[in-house]
Amino acid sequence: MAMTWLWTGMVSLSLLFGAATGNLGALGGAALDGARSAVELCVTMAGVMCLWTGVMEVMERSGLSGLLARAFRPLLRRLMPRASRDPETLAAVSANLSANMLGLGNAATPLGIRAARLMARGGNGTASDDLCLFVVLNTASIQLFPTTVAGVRAALGAAEPFDILPAVWLASGVAVAAGAGMARLLARVWRERP
């Protein structure tokens, strides 16, 4: 329902603003332009996107994402001391994070749900510190190759669609660290057991 409100709100606000600013005549044309450009965008970005999801699939099948998952484990033992004691949880968490890094959304979500379920055991509907941190790590993206964005950039005529990678790594890397730090800080305010 949230999207219904968002969409209807945007269209109604457009009508109101258009009437107020005298741009009402341009709205109909803009609506048709928007619908057409959505299809154009999808068609022009299809090639880049399909190529990269293909490469990611090869990475997964050849075990490159498994290697990445193993590299995460020492770090996770420090970040989530309690959840990592259970090897099954640790495996699910590290596999989820490595799938996210490689942009394997289809693989990451089921793994993440599994990890979240294992971490929520015995919590009676309250999130543990480790679960909060895990969700924060997932909401802040850690994708190494943002393929969709690169596809859009290629479709819109960027000279090198992937030249934003260093900036993406810097922004997302620091944001993930900031989110994790904030989660640890707030865990002391919102106590697990009141």
Partner 1 sequence: MSVSDLAIPLLLCFVGAYGAARRVDVYAALTKGAEEGLGVLLRVLPSLVALLTAVYMFRASGAMDCLAALLAPLLAALGIPPETAPLLLIRPISGTGALAVGSELMERCGADSYVGRVAAVMLGSSETTFYTAAVYCGAAGVTRTRHTIPAALFADGVMFVLSAFAVRMVFGT
Binding to partner 1, residues 125-154 (CB under 8 A): 125-127, 131-132, 134-136, 138-141, 143, 146-150, 152-153
CB of 110 to partner 1, least distance (A): 9
Cα separation, 58 vs 35, in Å, equals: 34
Cα separation, 79 vs 129, in Å, equals: 10
Segment interacting with partner 1 (CB under 8 A) among 68-76, 77-85, 87-95, 108-116: 108-116
Pairs from 68-74 (Cβ < 8 Å, separation ≥ 24) = 68/98, 68/101, 68/102, 69/94, 69/95, 69/97, 69/98, 70/94, 72/97, 72/98
CB of 77 to partner 1, least distance (A): 21
86 is a site residue for partner 1 (CB under 8 A): no
Contact yes or no for 118/86 (Cβ under 8 A): yes
CB of 47 to partner 1, least distance (A): 9
CB of 71 to partner 1, least distance (A): 16
- Number of residues engaging partner 1 in binding (CB under 8 A): 105
